[in-house]
Structure 1
Amino acid sequence: MLSFLCRIFVDSWVGRIVVGLFFLTFVGWGVGDVLMNIGTERADVVARVGPDPILVPAYEQALRTEMPQIAQQMHLQDPSQIPATTREQIAQQVLQRLVLQAEVALAARNHGLLVPDSAVRAEIFAIPAFQDKNGKFDRDLFNNRLRNSGMTEGRLIELVRAEQASKALMEPIRSGATAPDILTRRIFDLEAQTRRVDIVRVPFASQTPAAPTDAQMHRFYANHPWLFQAPEYRHARIVVLSPETMARSITIPDADLRHMYEQQSQRFNTPETRSVQVITAPTEARARELLNTWQQGANWDAMQKDAGRDSASVEMNDIRIASVPSQDLGRKIFAAPADAIQPPVHTDGGWAIFRVTHVTPAHVSDFESARPALQSQAVAEQVQAQMGDRVQKLQDAIAGGGLDSIPTDIGAAAMSGNIDAHGMTQEGTPAPIPGSDAVRQAITGRIFTQPKGGSPELIQGPEGTWYAVMVDGITPAQPQSYEASAGKVRDAWMADAQRHAADQSATDLYNRAQDGGGLAHLQPAIADLVHSAEFSRTHDTPDVPHEVAEIAFRLDHPGQSLMIEADGAFYVATLTDISRPDPSTQRMLFDRIRASLTQAVADDVEMSYAMALQATVKPKPNPSAINAVMSAVSGKGNPEAGQ
C-alpha cells in the first residue's frame, strides 16, 4: 500500500523524511464505520486540484507530523525554532506531495477506476496498526487509534479508496516499462569487465638530486614569491556551542548515575558466552561416524562437507545458553571444556556432536567501573534535550549585545586570537577551536569570508555545532625576505627537483614501454615491476591506484601504456589483459543489472506521468490558509507561503 507514492516522493530532501512518516500519518487520518459514512466535514481549503480540495486538516496533520522530525534533526527543542526559510521549504514540499496525490487520484477517477467497498474494507482490515496480536482486525483498537488521532473514519476510507484507484492507474504504467537488452548488456560489460596491468611506481622521495647552489636558491626564491610569504592573519572573536562544549557544563548527580546503573544492570553484568561448532546427524551411528572423523584430525571445512550428505552443520559465535534451541544441548555446550570434541547428545533434531571453540567468561562491572560510560550516556542525553533551548538563548544574546553578552551558564566556549586561512596561529600551532577538523574548517572559512567589523551571526555548522565569529583585525600577507625563508627555499627547491627527476625517470620508462610493447619487455628487467591482480570499475585492487585504474579502462588493447602522477609519485603502467565475461557465466550480476535498470526506467516513466498530470491540472493554492496552518503548527506565520 502507498508503494507508488513512496517512489514518487523520495526525490527531495524533505520527501525522504516525508515518505517514512506518511505511513504513520495515513494511519492517523481517520475512519465512524468501515463500510458507511464515506465523506468528510469540509473546512478551509489550502489548495484545489481540479474540483478536489486539499483541506486544512489534512495539510495541518501532515505538517504536524513532519515539523518535530525536522526540529530534532536540527537539534532544536521546538518546531517554532526552525528558521522561517526552512519552514517555508517544508510547507512547500508537503503541499506539493498532497497536490501530487490529489492529481493522481483525480486522473484515476477520470479514467473510471472505481474501487468497491469490499476492497476498501479488506485493505483497512489488513493495516497492522488495526490488528490484534493474532493478526486479526480489532474494532476496539481501530476506534481507539482513530480517536487518539482526532480524525474521522470517513477520511481514512476516502484515502484508502483514492490510493487503491491511484495504484490501479499507476501500476500498469509502471509494469509496462522494461530495460532494453542492449542497454543491459552494455552496463554488464562495463561492470563485469576486468583488466590487468604491469605497473611501476617512481616516488619523488626516491630521487637524490644534488644540493642546490646559492644562485639556484636565489633564482627559485625570485620565481616563486607566493611560496615565501607570511600569510594573512585575522584577529577574530569566536563563540562555539556544541555537544562537546555543553558537556563540560553539565554535572550529573551521583544518585542519578546509580539509578541508571540499576536500570541497565544487564548492560554491565554480561553472562558467559561461547562460540561452538555443531553437527546434527539423523542417527546415533551416523553421529559417531562423524565424531570419529573429526577426532582423527579433520578440520571444520572438511567436516561440513562430510556432514552435508545427510546431516546439518552450524557454527554459532558468542552465544548465550538461552540462544541454544535445545536445553539439553545448551547445558552440555556450556559445561564442556574448550577445544574438545564432545560425544553425541540426543536432541529434538537428532544426534549432535560439537566443539566449543571459544569461551568468554561472565563479566560484572561494578558501579565505579561503569561510571564513565554512564556519565557519557547521561551527559549525551542532557545535551540532546537542552541543545535547542541553549541555541535559542545564545541567539538571543548575540542579537541583543553581540559577543559581549554571552551567558555563562549555557556551555558556550569563547576564544579570540590571530589565525591564518589554514587555522594556524602565528606561533605555528593549531588555533584552539573546539571540535573536529570539519568544525575547525567551517569556522576558519567563516572568519576569512566575513568582513572586518561585520555583525556576528549564529550559524549551524557540522556535527551539531553552532558558532558565531567577529573579525576585528586583519594583517595582510607579506613577503618574507630571502634570509628569513632560506630554509623553506632549500626545502621547496629540493622537493621540486625530486619531482622533476621522478618525472624524467618515469617519462623515460613510459616512452620505452610505448615503443617496446610494454614494461615487461624492457631490458634490463625492471626490479620494481608489479603484475597486478584483476580489477574492475567497481572493485579496485591495492596494487593499482584508482587514478591508474580509471585511465586503464580508457585504453583499447593490451600493450598500451600510461603515465600518471598520484600520491607523491609517478606511475607507469602497461595494460596486459582485458577480460569480457559472458553474461551466462555471471547470471546473478546480469539479472541484478537488468532488474535495477528496469526499476529505474519504471521510476522515470511513473514520474514523467505524474508530472504530466501536474502540468495538465494546475493546482490553485490559498496563501492565507497555508499561512494559517503554518502559524498553528509552528507558532509563527509564514508570509511567503503559497507564493
Structure 2
Amino acid sequence: MASRKTRDKTEKAPRGDEERRPRKGASVISWILLGMVVLGLGGYGITNFGGSATTVASVGGTKISVDDYGRAVRNALRAMSAQSGKNITFQEAQKQGLDQQVLQQLVLQAALDDEDSRVGISVGDGRLRQDITAISAFQGADGKFSAQTYKFVLQQNGLKEGEFEAETRKQMARTILQDAVTQGFGTPTTFIDTIMHYVGARRGFEILKLGADDLAQPVPAPTEAQLQAYYKAHPKTYTSLPAKRITYAELLPDQVAKTMKIPEAKLKAYYDQHKSDYVKPERRLVERLVYPAEAAAKAARAKLDAGQATFDQLVKERGLTLSDIDLGDVTADELSSAAAKQVFAAKQGAIVGPVESSVGPALFRVNNIIAAQTTSFDAAKTDIRNELGHQEAKQKIQSQEEHLNDLLAGGATLEQLAKETDMTLGTIDFTAKSATGIAGYEAFRDAARKVTKSDYPSIIQLDDGGIVALRLDKPIPAEVQPFAKVKDKVAEDWTRDQTDKALMALAQTDIKTAQAAGGDLSKAGTVDVQEPITRSGYIDNAPPGLLEDVFMMKKGETKAFQGDESVWIVKLTQVLPPAQNDPDIKKMRDQIAGQGAQGMQNDAFLYFAQAIQAHQGININQSAINAVNAQLQ
C-alpha cells in the first residue's frame, strides 16, 4: 500500500501473514467500498479526456475533473448496458438523463468532500488499512491479506495503490459525515400507529344473504311494452363494438397433425427415450431439520418423544421457518442411504431420525407419500402420437412458409391460397374483445388491430408454430343493434333488474323486522357470521365495495348491499384494532418503522447536501461537459 506523509511512524504496513479479526460487517462494508472506488476511478481502464479545460464543475474549493466525469459516465453506461442485457449507446443513455444523473452524483460527492475538508473530517491510516485489508478480494489462498494480491487486483482494474487508497479514504470520510447527519432519526410512533390502525383495523359482522328464491313470488315475465321501454332506456347496453370484418387463411398444427402418420417404431423409441416421464419411482414430501451435532439432534428427538416440544416448535427453536427446511418431493436416490432407508419406511406424518444426512444429523418429517406411477406404452401411445404429430406438423408448416409468402407476394389472394395449398379460409368480425378461435392468438390480434385496407396479406407466425395471413374487408361501425336481434338479452337484463329491485325492497323490510326485534338480524332469516377481517381481506362473491363500506359503518349499524341478483344485509357487530399478537402485523409495523426512518434519513441527508452546495457554491463548466460528451458519442 502506498504511504502518506501523515502516516503514524509507529504503524507497520500490513503483512500477508498477519492474524487479524475483522470487525463484524467489515467484509460487506469493504466490498461496497471497493465497488464504489473502482467505479469512481474507472475500473475498466483509465482514459484521459483531452482538451484545454480541466474541470467540469466545482463545489467550494473541490473540483471535478473532466477525466472524473468522463470515466464516471462510461462506467454508468456500462452498468446500464449490463443491466438491460444489450449495448446502449451514449445518445440513448443521454435521452434518459444518464449524464445529468452522473453529474449530480459527482457534485454531491464533491460537496461532501469539501465539507469534510472544511470541518476536518478524515480517516487515519490505521482505520484505512483495517478496512482495506479486510476486503476478501485482497486476500490470498490462506484467507489473509496479501500485498501481492492487493497489487494484482488493482492492476487488473487499472488502478494505482495511491489513487485507490486516496479515493477509499474520501469515501470513508463521506460515510462518516453522512452517518453523523442521519443518525438518530426514527419514525414517530403516531405516524406508525395511524398507518397500522388503518391497515390492520378489523371488522366483524353478520350477513343475511337474499337471493331470487327468497322472494314470495318470482318476478313475472315481462310484456312486450316493458321490453321495448327497457331497450330504449339503455341504448349503450345494446350498442355493438366497432369491428373489422377480416378474411384470413390459417394453417395450424392441430389441423396438420391429424394428417400425420407416425410409425409404431418411432412411437416406441420416443417412449423409451422419455421413460422417466412414464415410469416414476415413489416420492415423498419431506421436511429436514438439520442440527450441528448428533448430540443436539438426539436431545431434540428426546424433547419430541417426551411431548415437551412439537416438530414445528423445534424448527422455531433453530431460528428457522418451515419453508427453510422444506425439501419438496424427493426420491430415495436424492437422500443419503441412511436417510432414505428410514424416510421411505415411515408412514405419512411420521418423524424419523436423527439420521445422518448429506448436511449433518437431521430429523425428517414425512408430510405426504406419492406412490410410484407407471404408464405403459399402450396407455401413453395416443399422447405420444399427438406430441410427435404436432412436432412434425410444425416442421411441415415451417417448410411451406417461404413458398406461401412468395405466392402472396406474387399477387395470390387468400381464397387462392386456401384452394391451392393446405391453408383454410375463415372470416371474423374482430372487436377489442375478440379472444376466441383465431383471435385467441396474440399475434393475430396484434395484426388485426393494425391492419388497414391498403395492407397486403403476409404470413404471420403464431406462438404454437402455426401461420396465418389476413385481409381487412371492411370496417363495421358501432351501432345500436335491432331490438329483434337482442330481444332475449333485453329480457334477461330486465328480469335481472326487476329481481334486484324486488330483493332490495325485501331487504329493507327485513332490516325493519330486525330493528323491531332489538337489532336481531336472525329474526329476518339465517345469518352467517363473518369473523374479524381487515380492509384487504376477501369474501367470496361479496357485492362490490362491501368491505370498503363496512369500514365506514358504525357498530350496530345495518345496511343492505346490492349484488348481482342478490342482496347482502350486513350488521356491523365488532370494531377491533389491529391484532397485536399477529406476526404479520408485527412484521408490517417493523417495516413501516424502518421505511419511515429510512425516508427521514434520506430527506435529512438530501437537505444537508443541498445546504452545503448552496453555501459553498456550485460552478458548472457546461462547455467542458459538452466537450467530454462529444468524445463519448
Correspondence for 2:76 = 63
- Counterpart amino acid of residue 165 in structure 1: A
In 1, the alpha carbon distance for the partners of 2:566 and 2:488 equals 24
| CA deviation profile, 1:278-304 (whole Å, cap 9, x unmatched) | 89996999999889x69xxx9x97688
The question of whether the paired residues in 2 share the 8 Å contact of 1:178 and 1:601 is answered with yes
Return closer, same or farther for 1:342/1:328 CA change in 2, 3 Å cut-off.
farther
1:177 aligned to which of 166, 173, 185: 185
Give the match for residue 53 of structure 1. 64
* Letter paired with 2:548: E
Residue 482 of structure 2 is matched in structure 1 by: 481
How far residue 533 of structure 1 moved from its aligned partner, in angstroms, is: 0.8
Name the residue aligned to 1:130.
138
Alignment partners' CA distance in 2, 1:347 and 1:353: 9
Alpha-carbon distance between aligned partners in 1 of 2:298 and 2:174, rounded to the nearest angstrom: 62
Q: Structure 2 CA distance, aligned partners of 1:561 and 1:628?
A: 71
SS of 1:484's equivalent?
A: helix
Classify the secondary structure of the residue corresponding to 1:78.
coil
**Structure 2 residues not aligned, in runs of 5+:** 1-22, 249-275, 376-382, 395-424, 456-469
Q: CA deviation at 1:581?
A: 6.1
Q: Is this contact kept in 2: 1:233–1:419, CA < 8 A?
A: yes
CA contact (8 A) 1:209 1:498 kept: yes
Find the residue that maps to 1:562 and give its secondary structure.
Answer: strand
- 2:433 counterpart of 1:432: no
1:117-174 C-alpha deviation (Å, 9 max, x unpaired): 3333333333333334554334444444433433444443343223222221121222
Question: Is this contact kept in 1: 2:123–2:172, CA < 8 A?
Answer: yes
Residues 288 and 139 of structure 1, relative CA distance in 2, 3 Å threshold? closer
Show the counterpart of 1:501: 502
Work out which of the two has the higher radius of gyration on C-alpha atoms and give 1 or 2: 2
Aligned to 1:620: 620
Structure 1 residues not aligned, in runs of 5+: 7-19, 33-38, 239-265, 380-414, 455-468, 638-643
Q: CA deviation at 1:198?
A: 0.9
**Aligned equivalents of 1:173, 1:501: Cα separation in 2:** 66
| CA–CA separation in structure 2 for the residues paired with 1:71 and 1:307 | 41
Counterpart of 1:109? 117
TM-fit CA distance, 1:541:
5.7
Q: 1:611 to 1:552 in 2, by over 3 A?
A: farther
> What CA RMSD, in Å, does the superposition of the two structures yield over aligned residues?
6.0
* C-alpha contact (below 8 Å) 1:59/1:629 kept by paired residues: no
Q: Structure 1 357/470 Cα, relative in aligned 2: closer, same or farther at 3 Å?
A: closer
Q: In structure 1, how many angstroms separate the alpha carbons of the residues matched to 2:300 and 2:173?
A: 59
Given that residues 241 and 479 in structure 2 are in contact (C-alpha distance below 8 angstroms), is that contact kept between their aligned partners in structure 1?
A: yes
* Aligned-residue identity in percent: 20
Q: Cα distance, 1:214 vs. partner?
A: 0.7
Q: In 2, distance between residues paired with 1:416 and 1:620? A: 66
**Match for 1:115: what amino acid?**
V
Pick from 73, 85, 100: which aligns with 1:92?
Answer: 100
TM-score by length of 1: 0.59
Distance 1:623 1:470 in 2: 55
Q: Distance in 2 between matches of 1:43 and 1:549?
A: 67
Mark the CA change 1:490 to 1:542 in structure 2 (over 3 Å): closer, same or farther.
closer
The answer as to whether partners of 1:345 and 1:351 remain within 8 angstroms in 2 is yes
Name the CA distance, whole Å, in 2 between partners of 1:202 and 1:578: 25
Q: Which amino acid aligns with 2:439?
A: P
Shift of 1:197: 0.8
**TM-superposed deviation, 1:623:** 6.4
Give the Cα separation in 1 of the matches to 2:110 and 2:373.
59
1:199 equivalent to 2:207? Answer yes
User: Contact 2:77 / 2:88 at 8 angstroms: preserved in 1?
Assistant: no
Partner of 1:548: 546
Q: Measure the CA separation in 1 of the matches of 2:426 and 2:76.
A: 42
CA deviations on 1:579-601 (whole Å, 9 max, x unpaired) are 23696998946556544433333
- Partner of 2:545, secondary structure, is helix
Cα-to-partner distance string for 1:444-470 (whole Å, 9 max, x where unaligned): 8x75xx99989xxxxxxxxxxxxxx99
Cα distance in 2 between the residues matched to 1:211 and 1:628: 81
Q: 1:162 to 1:433 in 2, by over 3 A?
A: farther
Which residue of structure 1 lines up, in the alignment, with residue 227 of structure 2? 217
Q: Give the alignment of 1:57-456 within 5 angstroms.
A: 57-72=70-85, 77-80=86-89, 84=92, 87-132=95-140, 134-202=142-210, 208-234=218-244, 275=286, 317=327, 318=329, 329-330=338-339, 332-333=341-342, 336=345, 421-424=431-434, 429=436, 432=439, 434-435=441-442
1:29·1:156 contact (CA, 8 Å) conserved in 2?
no
User: What is the DSSP-based 3-state SS (H/G/I as helix, E as strand, rest coil) of the residue aligned with 2:178?
Assistant: helix
TM-score (norm 2): 0.60
Of residues 535, 559, 563, the one that matches 1:562 is 559
Deviations 1:427-457 (A, max 9, x none): xx56636339xx95x888x75xx99989xxx
Q: CA deviation at 1:215?
A: 0.8
Given that 2:187 and 2:593 are in contact with CA atoms closer than 8 Å, whether structure 1 keeps it comes out as yes
